[in-house]
Amino acid sequence: MPNSGRQQEISEAMRRQDRRRFLPPEVVDEHARDAPLPIGYGQTNSQPSTVAAMLELLDPFPGMRVLDVGSGSGWTSAILGELGGPDSIVHAVERVPELVDRSRLAINQEWVQVHPAQPGVLGLPDLAPFDRILVSAMADDIPTELVGQLADGGIMVAPWGEVMHRVRRRGDDVRITEHGGYVFVPLIHTRF
């Protein structure tokens, strides 16, 4: 059963991090649409209802260490920063250099850092472990490299095989649950 208090908290964080700030001028007037919007380079700013559903599954908390993979415009990274507060650290990683630059300008929280993706590396293993990992791009299968970056008790929310999954790691035990069908841009390992 959905947690209405948690839904309200996420909704307020999304409002405080105004989507318009993260959109290019040609689509900013569509900010209120519950639809993915193009941000250039074949990438999108995710549909707000999808972002809210993913964040509820992720169960963010104050002071958390978060990895946001495929951060795109930086909107979800900023929302995670809002939910975690200044005692948290959000590491966002994006493979498109122009989007890294744009999102750094849009994000107004010192505890949210945007990193360019490294060639052949998924996530930020040198900064692991993370309490929470959010993946906003579709993989073919479970991104095991990211599961390895989860802290004990950590949660990852990621789409693969056209289904949203929630992964919880406790020691060597990894539990995976499915949460409906979704469509995302593909998860790509950066290669140079």
C-alpha 106/C-alpha 103 separation (Å) is 5
Residues 6+ apart with CB under 8 A from 106: 21, 22, 73, 74, 75, 78
Please pick, among 46, 73, 77, 103, the residue that the annotation labels catalytic: 46
Task: State yes or no: is 136 an active-site residue.
Answer: no
> Which residue, 16, 1, 147, is CA-closest to 80?
16
> Which residue, 182, 145, 146, is CA-closest to 161?
182
In 109-162, beta strands by DSSP E: 112-116, 130-135, 150-160
Which residues are identified as catalytic?
Answer: 46
